[in-house]
Chain A
């Protein structure tokens, strides 16, 4: 409970930042940061605990963005209902996709999710041209109504990030979380002691899909212009995976640490030469894997170890 209280205090502090009138640049940076904390957190829920490595979570980001964009522009549905509807659409799609793919093991699951994400992107890219309609707008993308209320996006992203952290907190405390971890340890043994592994894996996958889609919807309205190459970009998937990994997979704090760390160095280095940033990310990833696979969070163990040896 102490952890939750600490998180709550940080949450309130961060939430009051705009009241003091921070710079627009920092507003934007923090909004991005919350978005990545939420996304990395979602990936962590579905893959970090179970060890089922999802290489296509960006598909739900894209589905959320496109649902929101199409609902808002074609059907003139209000923003909040649209993002929620986007979440529901992702929930339905994730059920049909999750059921067959979650039966696959290891590399095959990773490739299947990746293939699904890329097929959705390509379908949206070529749908209009193939069927001669104007619906997804292909590579032209969709322009949404402009909303200048940056506080709204700041608080929405913060709220979703907060919800994800709380869900992860409860996952850590409940039988559901134990079941997820058990699947990672040994799926067969978990089945043997009566865990419905399919249901557990699918639930985690669906929770993650729902929130990623909602974040995608908020993102679409925030940036006001979306294209398949942006919202279905494989680099978003990669960011989610690397953030969780650098921070510590299957932990509460891991994705938060990883997202903060990577977003900060991306802001610092990426502004000048994106190659430098990517080379450094590559080196960090290789070092994390070789030296401390449990991520930044794992460094805590090192401290303990150092204390003991003194």
Chain B
């Protein structure tokens, strides 16, 4: 029973980590219908920002979170403004291939700069745990789990309560009408991508103390983000939390009770079945 509860908690914590880096993917898809295949690279860049700041200037990875956020915000703005905006009116495949091209460029330039080496950040609290009623909780994962709620909460507040959020929602609902009402659609797109990239960079910096970092790590994270966002409902931000936690728990249970290989298989089978039978996600709020 204790093993079961421990597995469940592990799954929920991993789910939070998943949610933290999938929310930006969902935001970008929800507003622009762009499947950002370079999503994992944004995460990788965030994580590497934290890594280099730690390595060179001995800055704690948690303190580099805002720096990663700002850098990725600028990069995201640039990518949308000068690249994706040019193909946004064209068939959706153009944006997938474009972002895939960016994935190749960013990941392989990173390989050239930083080699294939596996790296990790070892801080004083890296292996720290605390336990409640005999259940062990790793500190770093717990922090990212909390951060996931902050990210989703922030996005929710931004979209629902601010003028920028209203403009973003209007653009997502009906681009032409938004334009008529004086919304600068291209600028909103650039800001949306920038915000999506920034929170992904933040998530990248926050996972850097407990994951292995290497330039090609991105693609596998993009794939997990896919699964999470489809499970929770594509484009529905709180869905990232729900999808993330469900996926995390399912994976943790299959790893503990069957084997690790089957856990990945089940992830993809689940994704496939979900798309066929309920493409709007478990919440039913995804846009189709």
Contact = CB atoms under 8 A, between A and B. Distances in A.
Interface of A: 51, 53, 100-101, 104-108, 110-112, 114-116, 118-119, 122-123, 125-126, 129-130, 138, 234, 238, 241-242, 245, 273, 275-276, 278-279, 281-286, 289-290, 293
Given A122-B264, A130-B259, A289 B87 contact: yes
B33 A279 contact: no
Contacts of A283: 101, 105
A289 B94 contact: yes
A245 B83 CA distance: 18
B268 A122 contact: yes
Interface in B80-96: 83, 86-87, 90-94, 96
Nearest to A123: B265
The prevalent SS among residues of B at the interface is: helix
B98 interface: yes
Nearest to B95: A289
B103 interface: yes
Contact of B104 (A108, A118, A282): A282
Contacts of A245: 97
Contacts of A276: 108, 112
Nearest to B86: A290
Nearest to B229: A111
Nearest to B106: A282
B109 A126 contact: no
B111 interface: yes
B262 A285 contact: no
A115 B271 contact: yes
The prevalent SS among residues of A at the interface is: helix
Nearest to B109: A279
B98 A285 contact: yes
A144 to B, nearest CB: 24
B249 to A, nearest CB: 19
Contacts of B111: 275
9 contacts: A107-B35, A111-B35, A119-B269, A122-B261, A122-B268, A281-B104, A283-B101, A285-B101, A286-B101
Contact of A101 (B223, B264, B276): B276
Which of B90, B92, B98, B100 is the most central at the interface, judged by chain A CB atoms within 10 Å of its CB? B100
Given A111-B275, A115-B271, A285-B100, A106 B90 contact: no
Interface in B1-25: none
